């Protein structure tokens, strides 16, 4: 009898705690402070889109956080990277070439590795990218066949990926004044405050993927 009573008490306690915890999380993330609503509609499927630039120091430093976000996303939630071309640290052509290079890495199924190599070339080696030939050299040094790089750079599939990247940038350009920038489900824009921990940033993104 005592065992049954204890079980009932535990069940009632858990039942009471669940709504309290849910409400606490809702209160933790406040519209206008931790996120903005930038659209009346959302994407058909949940997704997280990071707008970034290889030339952005903050984007470079955010890469470990991005890796953790991707690792903690539930099954069925897509993660997309969109490269921007409005940074003042490099010319438009170099930035457009970097966008193409990211798509070549994606086509090779080596996107993360090649993105990391480009970031390191700019921020660790302090080297300058002038055009696609410089990025080709980065790929070759990291094990990609030069002829394959050239072939993909001219391919319809890569050019289609570049167009998709630029269309995605144009769609939300008015909301993306700086990078890194995270837009979730095409409706919510995350705002990371100085007092947030890395895990809180991740939790905010995960929470936004579940919002209506």
Report domain extents, the chain.
Answer: 34-209
Q: What are phi and psi of 42, to 5 degrees?
A: -125, 170
What pTM did the predictor assign?
0.86
Return the pLDDT at 27: 74
- Residue 25: band (very low, low, confident or very high) from pLDDT cuts 50, 70, 90: low
Output the CA torsion 19→24→26→31 (10° steps).
160
Sign of CA dihedral 165, 166, 172, 176: positive
195 CB burial (10 A radius; 0-12, 13-18, 19+): exposed
- Residue 199: band (very low, low, confident or very high) from pLDDT cuts 50, 70, 90: very high
Mean pLDDT to the nearest integer, 68-86: 97
List the one residue out of 58, 122, 66 whose CA is nearest residue 95: 122
Q: Write down how long the chain is.
A: 212
CA distance 73 to 77: 6
Return the pLDDT at 5: 42
- Whether 178 has a pLDDT exceeding 90, the answer reads yes
> Helices marked H in 49-131 — which ranges?
57-72, 92-107, 111-123
User: Is the separation of the CB atoms in 187 and 194 below 8 Å?
Assistant: no
Domain 34-209 has CATH 3.40.30.10: yes
């Amino acid at each position: 009898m005592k065992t049954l009573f204890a079980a009932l008490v535990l069940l009632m306690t858990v039942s009471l705690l669940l709504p309290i915890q849910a409400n606490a999380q809702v209160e933790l993330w406040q519209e206008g402070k931790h996120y903005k609503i930038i659209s009346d509609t959302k994407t058909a499927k949940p997704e997280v889109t990071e707008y970034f630039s290889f030339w952005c120091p903050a984007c470079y430093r955010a890469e470990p956080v991005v890796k953790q976000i991707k690792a903690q996303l539930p099954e069925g939630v897509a993660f997309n990277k969109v490269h921007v071309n409005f940074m003042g640290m490099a010319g438009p052509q170099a930035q457009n070439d970097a966008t193409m290079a990211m798509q070549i890495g994606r086509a090779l199924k080596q996107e993360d590795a090649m993105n990391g190599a480009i970031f390191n070339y700019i921020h660790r080696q302090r080297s300058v990218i002038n055009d696609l030939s410089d990025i080709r050299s980065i790929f070759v040094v990291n094990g990609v066949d030069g002829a394959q790089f050239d072939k993909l750079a001219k391919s319809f599939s890569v050019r289609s990926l570049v167009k998709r990247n630029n269309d995605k940038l144009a769609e939300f350009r008015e909301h993306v004044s700086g990078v890194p920038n995270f837009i979730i489900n095409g409706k919510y824009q995350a705002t990371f405050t100085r007092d947030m921990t890395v895990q809180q940033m991740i939790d905010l993104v995960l929470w936004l993927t579940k919002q209506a």
